[in-house]
Amino acid sequence: MDTPSATPASRTFNVPATATSAEGAQTLIEIDNFDFYYGAKQALFDINIRIADKRVTAFIGPSGCGKSTLLRCLNRMNDLIDGTSVKRGSVKIRSIDINGRDVDSIELRKRVGMVFQKSNPFPKSIYENIIYGLRIQGVKSKSRLDEVVEKSLRGAALWDEVKDRLHESGLGLSGGQQQRLCIARTIAVEPEVILMDEPCSALDPIATAKVEELIHELKKQYTIIIVTHSMQQAARCSDQTAFFYMGKLIEFGETRDIFMNPKNPQTEAYVSGRFG
């Protein structure tokens, strides 16, 4: 399960959902006939996708193809933008429609965390950054907070680098460390899904490698969806890959298939670097 691209089953799938379930992976997120609009402009067209639990799914595609938009639909971050609307279709996580009437977007975001393109630690200490999510949930116990800080920082492979300066500003860290701090902050609230919106695009290769390593570790516990511009990154760290173009899902499958044996000529053109 850790390296599904190496499993023989990945070569034979037709419908992604079937393929993952064939491996014994549960489907966590189901997106059906999903249309999404910015005001009058349609951004996503009839998206159908099944995302497996505890695997890494990469969204790739040229700029403006809607991959980030779809990602932000998964924890309803688009609610913050005026004029956005879901016109058709549904996004279900564990069979619950997240755009349903009774869904509290705040509760949703506690379950579906997000890491952004540009690292954005709060102008607070490292410690305060990590426990922010718990503080707003009203956790007061010092021992519990200390425990979570250490666990999250270890989980984000940052503990050894910052354990002596937990109370210094998070803005004093290097770019790569800041991004891992943001990941640690996200896993501190123990979500089920972590959305990563081009998490390495502002990082140097060494920091990128560290984050990718971290993604491998994290997928043991979390379902990860990563938007990336780097084909190599998608190939390196994802199990499944979805290729988007002009707001449409062109092809979705096991990463190995998408890169080695794409079915769609557009996908082939993109992954081989001929456009995008």
Partner 1 sequence: MPPDINTAADTGEPSSKFAIQKKRTRLFGLTLDETIRVFFGGNALVAVIVLALITFFLFREGSQFFGQNRDSLRTYRLAGLEYVDIIRQQEEDHTALTRYLFDIRLKAVVQLTEQGIDAAEINRRLAAFDAFSERYSDTIVPIRGLVFELTEVATDIKTRYNENEDYKVARKNFLAAGMKAEADEITIKDLDFAKEIVAITGTVSAYEQINNEYADALKASVTVLPTLPVASLQPRLERFRELTREYLATFPGRLATLKAWDNNAPVKWTEAFTQFIFGTRWLTASFWQDWYGIIPLFVGSLMISCIALFIAVPLGVGAAIYVNQIASPMEQRLIKPAIEFISAIPSVVLGFFGIAVLGQALRALSQWEALSWVPGFPYSERLNALTAGCLLALIAVPTIFTLAEDAINNVPRAFKEASFALGASRMQTIVRIIVPASLSGIVSAVLLGLGRVMGETMVVLLCAGNRIAIPDFTAGFTAFLQPVHTMTGIIAQEMGEVVRGGIHYRALFVVGLVLFFIALLLNFLAQKIVRKYRISIG
Contacts to partner 1 by CB under 8 A: 75, 77, 80, 82, 106-107, 109-110, 113-114, 116, 118, 120-124, 132-133, 135-137, 171, 182, 185-186, 189
Contact 4, 24 (CB under 8 A): no
Min CB(105)–partner 1 separation in Å? 8
Q: Which is nearer to partner 1, 107 or 164 (CB)?
A: 107
Long-range Cβ contact pairs of 138-147 (< 8 A, separation 24 or more) = none
Residue-by-residue DSSP string for 27-84: EEEEEEEEEEEETTEEEEEEEEEEEETTSEEEEE-STTSSHHHHHHHTTTGGGGSTTE
CA dihedral 142, 108, 244, 246 (to 10 degrees): -120
Q: How many residues does the chain have?
A: 276
Residue (195 or 231) nearer to partner 1, CB: 195
Between 195 and 271, whose beta carbon lies closer to partner 1?
195
- For the CB of residue 54, give the shortest distance to partner 1 in the complex, in Å: 21
Decide whether 25 or 77 has the Cβ nearer to partner 1. 77
Q: Closer CB to partner 1, residue 20 or residue 179?
A: 179
Residue 275: both structure tokens together? 């456009």
DSSP state of 26: P
Query: CB of 13: closest distance to partner 1 in angstroms?
Result: 32
Least Å from the CB of residue 109 to partner 1: 5
Q: From the CB of 129, what's the least distance to partner 1, in Å?
A: 9
